[in-house]
Amino acid sequence: MSANHAAVVDEIFETLAELAPEIRASLPGRRVKSGETNPSGETRLEADAYADELIEAAFGEIDGVGTYASEEQAEPIDVGEGPVSIACDPLDGSSNIKPNSPMGTIVAVYEGELPAGGDRLLASGFVLFGPILTMTVARDGQVYEANVGDGDIEIIDDDVTIPDEPTVYGMGGRVPDWTDGFAGFIEEVEQEYKLRYGGAMVADVNQVLTYGGIFSYPALQSAPDGKLRLQFEGIPIAYIVESAGGESSDGTGSLLDVEPTEFHQRVPVHLGNAELIDRVETHLADA
């Protein structure tokens, strides 16, 4: 990464750390539906809209950021001159606000125009609104986790690495809607590991980073491209998991090699220990 890009990336994650307590503080008052849907047809909560506006305004102020794109908006927005584009999922897993379960914010920093593939990703990170307010960032092939409860980056772990011995698995989609290949894979892993699924990608992936295992939102019979969005969720979280020593897959290969054709395109997602990703790919190929 050039020194110029590195300085912009620094400022983006310092800004995200500052925003995190502010977004969290806004959540209790914004637990209700806004009456709108986002470009992927999902119900938009007031919390989604508020976080998106806050993040867009703050990132738009950063020198070097030319474009802000959000899962909540149909098209990328021109926010100034600069070589860097941000793709953001302002509140990942926002349906968890009702039961007061964890959610997150995902930020991907790409070089140049969007849509962009993993080859143009400069860095990515997520905030996890859990019992502790943390931010996990991957850049230059290394991952750190920081406490951002006070708006500053206080490093907890400067080299997050997925444990060698997996223990958990979690996956989305109704079981009867799974493909035969994926169902066959789960029949195998459920004998070996413990099911843990929370319904917010960032939290489900963070437990995989913590305990080892696999998170999937697979291709479904009714939705061959799955649910998660490549630009905002698939690529940034794949880069974090791969930088922590794990692997990612869309069912056939790394999510970082999938070329985006559409801005809000969906993609099947598998993330976790290399051995489990290889196994899911084998099951899907053999089915």
- Interface ranges with Mn ion (CB under 5 A): 89, 92
Q: Please, what is the minimum distance in Å from the beta carbon of residue 106 to Mn ion?
A: 7
Go through the chain and tell me how many residues it has.
287
Nearer to ligand F6P, 5 or 206 (CB): 206
Q: Please, what is the minimum distance in Å from the beta carbon of residue 201 to Mn ion?
A: 6
List 66, 90, 93, 268, residue binding ligand F6P (CB under 6 A): 93
Q: Please, what is the minimum distance in Å from the beta carbon of residue 95 to ligand F6P?
A: 6
List 76, 125, 166, 172, residue binding ligand F6P (CB under 6 A): 172
Nearer to ligand F6P, 84 or 171 (CB): 171
Q: What is the separation, in whole angstroms, between the first and last Cα of the chain? A: 41
Single out the residue of 158, 268, 274, 156 nearest to residue 220, CA to CA.
Answer: 268
Q: Are 239 and 246 in contact (CB under 8 A)?
A: no
The angle at the Cα of 103, spanning 208 to 75, to the nearest 5 degrees, equals 110
Q: Is the peptide bond before 76 cis (omega within 30 degrees of 0)?
A: no
List 30, 44, 139, 227, residue binding ligand F6P (CB under 6 A): 227
Which amino acid is residue 75, in one-letter code? E
Q: Please, what is the minimum distance in Å from the beta carbon of residue 174 to ligand F6P?
A: 8
Q: Is 64 helix (H, G, I), strand (E, B) or coil?
A: coil
Nearer to ligand F6P, 79 or 128 (CB): 128
Q: Which does 114 bind (CB under 5 to 8 A by kind): Mn ion, ligand F6P, none?
A: none
Q: Please, what is the minimum distance in Å from the beta carbon of residue 91 to ligand F6P?
A: 9
Nearer to ligand F6P, 201 or 280 (CB): 201
Q: Are strands 194-195 and 154-157 parallel, antiparallel or unpaired?
A: unpaired
x/- binding map, residues 178-217, to ligand F6P, per CB under 6 A? ---------------------xxx---------------x
**DSSP label at residue 83:** S
Q: Is 204 helix (H, G, I), strand (E, B) or coil?
A: helix
Residue corresponding to tokens 């143009």: 120
Q: Please, what is the minimum distance in Å from the beta carbon of residue 63 to Mn ion?
A: 28
The angle at the Cα of 101, spanning 230 to 90, to the nearest 5 degrees, equals 40
**Which helix H or strand E contains 198, and what residues bound it?**
none
- The whole-angstrom separation of Cα 172 and Cα 269 is 10
Q: Please, what is the minimum distance in Å from the beta carbon of residue 109 to ligand F6P?
A: 19
Nearer to ligand F6P, 52 or 92 (CB): 92
Nearer to Mn ion, 40 or 167 (CB): 40
- The whole-angstrom separation of Cα 212 and Cα 32 is 35
Q: Please, what is the minimum distance in Å from the beta carbon of residue 177 to ligand F6P?
A: 10
Nearer to ligand F6P, 258 or 271 (CB): 271
What token pair was written down for 216?
């999937």
* Crossing angle of the two packed helices 180-189 and 274-286, in degrees rounded to 10: 140
Map the footprint of ligand F6P across residues 127-166, applying CB under 6 A: none
Nearer to ligand F6P, 171 or 277 (CB): 171
List of residues contacting ligand F6P (CB under 6 A)? 92-93, 172, 199-201, 217, 227-228
